[in-house]
Amino acid sequence: MQRPEDTGLLDRLNKRVHVALPIRIICWDRENKPGVQVACTYDISPHGARVSGLPQIKEVGDIVAVERGRSGRAFCRVVWVGEENSELRGQIGIECVEPDRVLWETELAQMDEIFDRIPRGARPARNEFKMGGVETRRRRPRYHIEGMAELRNLASNYRGEEAEIKNLSELGCLITSPHALDPGTNLKLVLNVANYDLTVKGQVRHIAPEAGIGVEFCEIRKGDRPVMQFLMRKLAEEQFETAFELEI
């Protein structure tokens, strides 16, 4: 997975809610002929949305027009496409290319972000997971990954600068931040990995000046769990393929 060229994480800390809204998508074929498809949002933000019901759209970078009732039309770029054999099949991520256009301003003003608690589950046996041949007592495997996170201190509502993600699991991550954070600090994090956005709430568990800041996730934005599971599966596959190549 490659680090996205443009994360735009400061904007993504704005309200983002899980809501189904009917929309029409206009896309153009290779002969520049328009076609209209009916779809539904999975979640929305001021500058984009996750949309379901569009298995026909296959290419990242395509420009589409989004229409919703009297809100008019906005042009958006496809920033990711769910893989056919994944939890995100038939879904796409779109980002508006018109900075001043918001198609769902009313809904965003009326609704709050909804988060689901992350079940901790039972701690596995000590030898259940191995990372690079080293035994670990973590409840979930962690994967080295390139990505960025935007942090917000929930106590002070301070929004920090972008932090680099060094590794990621379903239950936490290791980041590097230019700001000092004390253990026990409650954070809201917007994670951007391979053009996918996930919003979580967590707590700083440990700090190692040379290694980074360990954050344990407590809640995940409603609707983001399938994205997290998809990323974990892809990372596991990539790690297996790398290990297999090294053995040959």
The predicted-structure confidence for 18-74, as pLDDT tens digits, reads as follows 888 999 999 888 788 888 889 999 888 888 899 988 877 888 999 999 998 766 789
For residue 218, what are the CA distances in angstroms to 147, 174, 177? 20, 15, 20
- Cβ contacts of residue 83 below 8 Å, gap of 6+? 89, 230
Largest CA distance in the chain: 60
Secondary structure tally for the chain: helices H, strands E: 3, 15
The helix/strand/coil state of 108 is helix
Query: How confident is the prediction for the chain on average, in pLDDT?
Result: 79
Quick: pLDDT tens for 151-194: 888 887 566 678 999 999 999 999 998 777 889 999 999 898 87
Higher pLDDT pick, 246 / 79: 79
Residue 159: name the closest of 9, 15, 18 by CA: 9
Quick: pLDDT tens for 115-143: 899 987 644 433 333 433 434 445 568 89
Q: Is the pLDDT of residue 97 over 80?
A: yes
- Cβ contacts of residue 206 below 8 Å, gap of 6+? 183, 213, 214
Higher pLDDT pick, 29 / 4: 29
Both tokens of residue 127? 């030898």
CA-CA distance, 60 to 81, in Å (whole number)? 6
Q: Is the pTM of this model over 0.85?
A: no
Quick: pLDDT tens for 202-220: 999 999 877 899 999 999 9
Pick the CATH number of 17-110 from 3.40.605.10, 2.40.10.220, 3.90.1640.20, 3.30.830.10: 2.40.10.220
Q: Is the pLDDT of residue 75 over 90?
A: yes
Superfamily of domain 115-247 in the CATH hierarchy: predicted glycosyltransferase like domains (2.40.10.220)
Long-range pairs for 177-186: beta carbons < 8 A, 24 or more residues apart: 177/151, 177/213, 179/151, 181/151, 181/153, 181/207, 181/213, 182/207, 183/207, 185/153, 185/155, 186/153, 186/154, 186/155
Looking at the chain, the domain(s) classified CATH 2.40.10.220 span 17-110, 115-247
| Side chain identity, residue 170 | E
